[in-house]
A and B are shown apart, each in its own frame.
Chain A
Amino acid sequence: DAGVIQSPRHEVTEMGQEVTLRCKPISGHDYLFWYRQTMMRGLELLIYFNNNVPIDDSGMPEDRFSAKMPNASFSTLKIQPSEPRDSAVYFCASSPLGTDNQPQHFGDGTRLSIL
């Protein structure tokens, strides 16, 4: 079975540039989550969607970050303009609808380096 697919796996860009990270959730999963992982702060939830609708974006660090989910099989996380402190591994995860607390399944992440 195909898991959560993220692209690109690695991204290196200069500060000020726009960065777009992409995610394809597991087919049939209704929830999609974006996380950021750093050594200092660990895994932090940025935003999550239910049925393509953003439910909680309280973890989005600032207005430079935005996320969209135009359909059930695709989501993007955009940073514009990017800054060196945005360097981190960004994970996408998805989970099925059902009773509360269905476990989340993670992609392999995008390692982002802003120079």
Chain B
Amino acid sequence: GQQLNQSPQSMFIQEGEDVSMNCTSSSIFNTWLWYKQDPGEGPVLLIALYKAGELTSNGRLTAQFGITRKDSFLNISASIPSDVGIYFCAGDTGGGNKLTFGTGTQLKVEL
């Protein structure tokens, strides 16, 4: 079946640093989504990407839908302590809202 691999698996960065993480797939997706999950809560949508090559920003977050439609990246600029959490990418082939989730990137921020 489809698999989404995220890297890095975890990262420990200094407050104020920029962060980059990516997601790759063996299959083509029509939509890429990025979610953040805090402990004890459900994933919260950060950014949605609908077109190959699309670059979208949401505050300090920027995400891109890869041209090949098999990858996506998420950048966080000037990280702050509340950025701590697990970031998931998710892809949809367009067959009816069925999402495949990535393995997650755990972000830890050092003050």
State the majority secondary structure of interface residues on B. loop
- Contact assessment for A100 and B42 in the assembled complex, using a CB-CB cutoff below 8 Å: no
Q: Residue A38 at the B interface, CB < 8 A?
A: no
Residues from chain A with Cβ under 8 Å of B97 in the complex: 31, 33, 48, 95, 100-102, 104
Chain B: CB-nearest residue to A100: B94
- Contact assessment for B40 and A101 in the assembled complex, using a CB-CB cutoff below 8 Å: no
Contact residue among B33, B94, B101 (Cβ-Cβ distance under 8 Å from A42) = B101
Contact residue among B30, B41, B99 (Cβ-Cβ distance under 8 Å from A45) = B99
Range of interface residues on A (Cβ < 8 Å)? 20 to 34
CA distance A43 to B88 in the complex (A): 9
Q: Residue A106 at the B interface, CB < 8 A?
A: yes
Residues from chain B with Cβ under 8 Å of A91 in the complex: 42-43
User: With contacts defined as CB atoms under 8 Å apart, how many contacts are there between chain A and chain B in the complex?
Assistant: 57
Residues from chain A with Cβ under 8 Å of B43 in the complex: 43, 91, 106
Q: Give the number of chain B interface residues (Cβ < 8 Å).
A: 24
Stretch at the interface among B14-22, B44-52, B73-81: B44-52
A75 to chain B: closest CB distance in Å?
A: 15
- Contact assessment for A104 and B88 in the assembled complex, using a CB-CB cutoff below 8 Å: no
User: Which residues in B have some Cβ–Cβ distance to A below 8 Å?
Assistant: 30-31, 33, 35, 40-45, 48, 50, 88, 92, 94, 96-104
User: Which residues in A have some Cβ–Cβ distance to B below 8 Å?
Assistant: 4, 31, 33, 42-45, 48, 50, 55-56, 91, 93, 95, 100-109
